[in-house]
């Protein structure tokens, strides 16, 4: 059986439920409950925004202070 290729970032939903965000981070759903991930409630459902999860990853890995490559390209016109 061939290994699955990871999905491109834009192929993941913008709003993710617990199982989906766990798959996005490649952890178990139970691990999601232990992480300090920002989430939002819509009625009784809990959702994680993909951009918030990506920003959380950047903060955890120290990449939050790195310049945004698209911003650098925009400077050069």
pTM above 0.85, yes or no: no
Cα-based distances in Å from 41 to 15, 28, 34, 36, 64: 11, 21, 17, 15, 25
Q: pLDDT tens-digit profile of 21-58?
A: 999 999 999 999 999 999 999 999 999 999 999 999 99
Domains of the chain, earliest start first: 10-66 (1.10.1660)
Cα-based distances in Å from 75 to 2, 64, 65, 67: 42, 20, 18, 12
């Amino acid at each position: 059986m061939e290994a699955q290729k990871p999905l491109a970032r834009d192929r993941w939903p913008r709003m993710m439920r617990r199982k989906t965000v766990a798959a996005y981070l490649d952890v178990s759903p139970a691990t999601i409950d232990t992480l300090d991930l920002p989430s939002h409630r819509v009625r009784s459902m809990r959702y994680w925004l993909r951009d918030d999860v990506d920003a959380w990853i950047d903060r955890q890995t120290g990449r939050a202070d790195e310049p945004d490559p698209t911003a650098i390209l925009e400077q050069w016109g």
